Amino acid sequence: MQAIMATPVAVKAPSTLQLRRIAIGARIYAAGTEGIAWRVKSGAVRLDRITTEGSNYAGLALRGDVIGAETLLFGKYSFEASAIGDCELEPWLAAGRALSGESLLQTLAAAERRAADALALRAGEAFERVRQLCLLLAQHRDDGRREIAIPELRDMAAITNLTEATVSRAMSRLRRMGILQRQGRRRGLVLAGADPAFAL
């Protein structure tokens, strides 16, 4: 039987080098459409596999991760991507170099770690799953604190394989414990620095 090999697709560099800013809840790209690979500069991205029965959660991408790398082989996106936090994306312009250099190995290693993270979030005690998700979503601010852009409950439930009600109870518990603290009228929460259990 002859092996079928994917032929790399020539990818056009985007016409602009500016960051792409995506608001929480917005779709980044649809499965089956043409596009380029992006690196997540900030925020969080949910990936879904689209089937005849609907969409199914397929993965999570965070700061430093590359999404849409499959376009380098197939020319089209295999997944649907949506922002579950305000995102900044930058074109993965180093694709030609990355495919044969050290940066490709780093990207593959990061993807492997992220897959392991995503798998761990779907097993174990419910509260711990939500706690670990908050850790993954936390990003350092200029003042040294860690801020979390809270996704919609449906997204957190899909990522952790829990019900929305269970996630809501876990988040309420984190707030009661003082681990998550609201900052004024801002949407995000911050991790209480006094809790060593939340050290990254």
CATH number for position 101? 2.60.120.10
Residue closest to 42 by CA, chosen among 25, 20, 13, 27: 20
Q: Which of 80, 115, 150 is the last residue of a domain?
A: 115
pLDDT value, residue 2 = 46
- Same domain, residue pair 132 and 98: no
Note down the domain range covering 156: 126-198
pLDDT value, residue 17 = 55
Structural domain contains residue 156: yes
pLDDT value, residue 169 = 97
pLDDT value, residue 188 = 63
- Same domain, residue pair 110 and 134: no
pLDDT tens digits in sequence order for the chain, 200 residues long: 444 444 444 444 444 457 899 999 999 999 999 999 999 998 999 999 998 888 899 999 998 899 998 998 888 999 999 999 889 999 986 544 445 556 667 777 777 888 888 889 999 999 999 999 998 888 766 556 677 888 899 999 999 999 999 999 999 999 898 888 876 555 567 766 534 444 43
Per-residue tokens: 134: 């908050």
- Same domain, residue pair 90 and 150: no
Structural domain contains residue 27: yes
Q: What are φ and ψ of residue 196, in 5° steps?
A: -65, -20
Strand runs labelled E in the chain: 20-22, 27-29, 38-42, 45-51, 54-61, 66-67, 80-83, 87-91, 139-140, 146-148, 180-182, 189-191
In the chain, the number of structural domains is 2
Structural domain contains residue 179: yes
Decide: 22 and 28 in contact? Cβ < 8 Å: yes
pLDDT value, residue 48 = 96
pLDDT value, residue 198 = 44
Q: Which of 115, 150, 170 is the last residue of a domain?
A: 115
- Same domain, residue pair 66 and 145: no
CATH number for position 189? 1.10.10.10
Structural domain contains residue 10: no
